Amino acid sequence: MFAQLVVSGIGQGSIYALVALGMTILFRVTTVVNFAHGELFMAGAFLIYALLNALGVPYAAAALAALLFLFLFGNAVERLLMRPLANAPHLSLAMMTVALSYLLRGGVRFLWGGNVRSLPPMFSFAPIEVGPVVIDAQDAVIIASTAALLVLFFALMRYSRFGKEAQAVTDSTRGAALVGINVAAFQRTMWGVAAMVAAVASILVAPETMLYPDMGARVLLRAFAAMTLGGFGSLGGAVAGGILMGIIEQLAGGYVSTAMIDIASYIVIIAVLLLRPSGLFGRAEVVRV
Amino acid sequence: MSRGGAAAVAALLILLVLPPFFVDDYVQFILDLILVYVMVSFGFNIVLGYAGQLAFANAAFFGLGAYTLAICLGRLDWPFPAALFAAAVVGGAAGLLVSLPALRLRAYYLAIITLAFGELLRWTYVHASGLTRGSSGLGVPAISIFGIPVASDRARYWLFLALAGLTLWGSANLLRSRFGRALVAVRGNEAAAAAMGLAPAVVKIGAFAWSGVVVAIGGAMYALLLGRISPESFGLSQLLLHFSIVMIGGLGSLVGSVLGAVILTAAPELLRDIPGLEEIIFSLLLIGVLLFMPKGVAGLLGRLALFRERLYLT
């Protein structure tokens, strides 16, 4: 049972890891904590649902459309909502993302109502059996795709020019501007990229999960748990924290009670922030004035 | 206060006491609801506007107040004043508790932990059904104060008016005191405030505790007004309403809080019938306020220089 729970936990956790990763890259480059990130994920899932049901396009086409749309949407959000507040206090920037989250949730509720919807499974091959552990087909796809994506992402961050620019902007926006990086344009692109990573999570998870307007808020809190657990602002920490969070949830559900699945992430957030705010892999922060 | 000022305040008080004699039942209910949200907004504004802390625990304080009152009245048969006092104490204690992470280095830790705290409480309301009756909702019995029954919306109006008035008076005095000035100093620059001998940690804890007390009393009033409370009343849409009232009224302005509560509570019922519409309108209003009038409606009035001094402490 333990191994089975861990495997399903990794499947769930991959989604949390992707959402947390998107929030972390955005946070590193813009210092904005995006409270609307769960809703970007939710909007991506509903977009796929709409394309599949209304237009009957194949899943791959719907997935591509979702990626493209969320990239553009992320850019638009930065340009229209965040850029005008560049010199405003940090509280206003955070409030803006809160307002955006409610706008997206309200928009989806307005268009589709509050009912729970679902999509047919994307893959119908038989579950994979490894000894006593049964890996669901969709879980297998999610875990494999997430792993491939993470390798690609970390290679990009490490070896490409884009990754080096991201590191420069993270270290110091002023320094990056001095060496010729267009920081505003870079941050805008990053909003697009972060939204696109959220769309990847929606593409992977849409066929096996229930779609409803509040699903984003649920995932947002789990992504926060992942980020706090792994150390806020650490890319690797967000991924490790996400997968760990998925496993913790499944273990709590399996050994304690299924009601615990819902609150495991809240308890993790509260416990980590009170006991060890730098998380498992983060470094304690020193502020100089 | 000048003689003219005193006369104006007296006239305002008389005007505020009169409505129950004239309005119909529906308007009376809306007026009561406005007073509830005036209260909530006073409390939230202290944390969000004056202390400048992004915290999502407001719906949690609100729910704690409502449930504490309902449980003390209905389950323990406490008299109303004792139940109200209990709600205030529980709210204050919760405020104290969530302020602990505000003392850490990073500001958004607070936002995240308060978000988790609120959801955790909502889960508790659903699952502690022995105490809260879970999702089916908990009834709130009618009350009397020292033998006088307060059972209609009209009677409740005067009770709520008195509570809101006392809170406004208390909050305004608090914000003009040494503590209030310290709060604004900490918001401006924590290091500078500490260098001047203030203790930022103590100031923040105080702000959260007072906010918890005020919002929990608002929640208790809400429970009395509705007569039945259930967990879904204290979730994210409740929080959106609180945010909107404070931001649209004006951050860091108690008068703005009153304005925000009046504007948003009186928003047509129509919004509630179409799914999602309330969220869309309120969030668009929030975005508009953030982009075009960062000080809210109170800031707009202040720009007319009518009563700049009165509206803002800062």
**pLDDT higher for B309 or B82?**
B82
Contacts of A225 in chain B (CB under 8 A): 116
What would the pLDDT profile of A43-70 be if each residue is shown by its tens digit? 999 998 888 888 888 888 888 999 999 9
How many whole angstroms separate alpha carbon A44 and alpha carbon B226? 38
Residue type, B168: L
Q: Is A235 exposed, middle or buried (0-12, 13-18, 19+ CB in 10 A)?
A: buried
- Give SS3 for B314: coil
Paired with B144 in beta bridges are B149
pLDDT for A208: 78
Selecting from B52, B108, B279 the residue whose C-beta is nearest the C-beta of A106 gives B279
Query: Tens of pLDDT along A155-211?
Result: 988 888 888 888 888 888 888 888 888 888 888 999 999 999 999 998 888 887 888
pLDDT value for A163: 87
Give residue A124's pLDDT.
66
The whole-angstrom separation of Cα B170 and Cα B172 is 6
Cα Rg for chain B, rounded, in angstroms?
19
Q: Are B101 and A276 in contact (CB under 8 A)?
A: no
Q: How far apart are CA B44 and CA B32, in angstroms?
A: 19
pLDDT (tens digit per residue) in B233-284: 888 888 888 888 888 888 878 888 888 888 888 776 667 777 888 889 889 9
Q: Would you state the structure tokens that stand for residue A184, as one six-digit string? A: 């505003």
Is B176 in the A-facing interface, judged by CB distances under 8 Å?
Answer: no
Name the percent of chain B in helix, strand, coil, to the closest 5: 75, 5, 20
| Mean pLDDT across A233-254 | 90
Mean pLDDT lowest among A222-226, A265-269, B299-303: B299-303
| Residue A277, CA distances (Å) to A232, A242, A254 in order | 9, 16, 28
Token representation of residue A254: 């399996």
- Per the listing, tokens 């509630």 go with B272
What is the C-alpha to C-alpha distance for residues B204 and B186, in angstroms, rounded to an integer? 8
The C-alpha atoms of residue A261 and residue A265 are separated, in whole angstroms, by: 8
Residues on chain A touching B283 (C-beta within 8 angstroms): 99-100, 102-103, 106
The residue of B106, B117, B184 whose CB has the most chain A CBs within 10 angstroms, and thus the best one to mutate to test that interface, is B106
- What average pLDDT does the structure give for chain A? 87
Residues with Cβ < 8 Å from A147, sequence gap 6 or more?
A: A14
Provide the mean pLDDT of chain B.
Answer: 82
Q: What average pLDDT does the segment A235-264 reach?
A: 89
CA dihedral sign, ordered B9, B10, B11, B14: positive
User: Looking at beta carbons, which residues of chain B come within 8 Å of A224?
Assistant: 112, 115-116
Per-residue confidence (pLDDT) for residue B311, from 0 to 100: 46
Contact list in A for residue B284 (CB cut-off 8 A) is 103
Q: What is the mean pLDDT of residues A26-32?
A: 88
Please, which residues have CB within 8 angstroms of residue B103's CB and are 6 or more apart in sequence? B201, B204, B205
Considering only CB atoms, which chain A residues are within 8 Å of B49? none
Give the pLDDT band (50/70/90) at residue B215.
very high
Shortest distance, CA B275 to any CA of chain A (angstroms): 5
**b/e B30-69 (16+ beta carbons within 10 angstroms → b):** bbbbbbbbbbbbbbbbbbbbbbbbbbbbbbbbbbbbbbbb
Measured distance CA(B154)–CA(B222) in Å, rounded: 15
Whether pLDDT at A288 is above 60: no
Which residue is it, tokens 């930065």?
Answer: A78
Could you report the predicted ipTM of this complex, rounded to two decimals?
Answer: 0.85
Residues composing chain B: 314
What single letter denotes the amino acid at residue B239? L
pLDDT 10s digits, B104-132: 656 788 888 888 888 899 888 888 877 87
Q: Measured between CA atoms, how close is B298 to chain A, in angstroms? A: 17
Q: Does the CB of B274 have a partner CB in chain A at under 8 Å?
A: yes
Tell me: pLDDT of B314 over 50: no
pLDDT of residue A287: 56
Percent of chain A clearing pLDDT 70 (strictly above): 96
Q: Is pLDDT at B307 greater than 70 in this prediction?
A: no
Residue A285 CA to residue B270 CA, distance in Å, equals: 49
Q: Which structure tokens are listed for A258?
A: 């299924």
Q: CA nearest A87 in B: which residue? A: B291
Residue of A nearest to B115 (CA): A221
Gap from B287 CA to chain A (nearest CA, Å): 6
Helix boundaries (H) for chain A: 2-30, 37-50, 59-77, 90-112, 137-159, 161-171, 173-178, 183-205, 215-230, 235-255, 260-275
Residue B153: its pLDDT value, please? 79
How confident is the model over A115-130, as a mean pLDDT?
75
Burial class (CB in 10 A: 0-12, 13-18, 19+), A234: buried
Tell me if chain A has a CB within 8 Å of the CB of B283. yes
Q: Is the pTM of this model over 0.90?
A: no
Rounded to an integer, the average pLDDT of B132-136 is 78
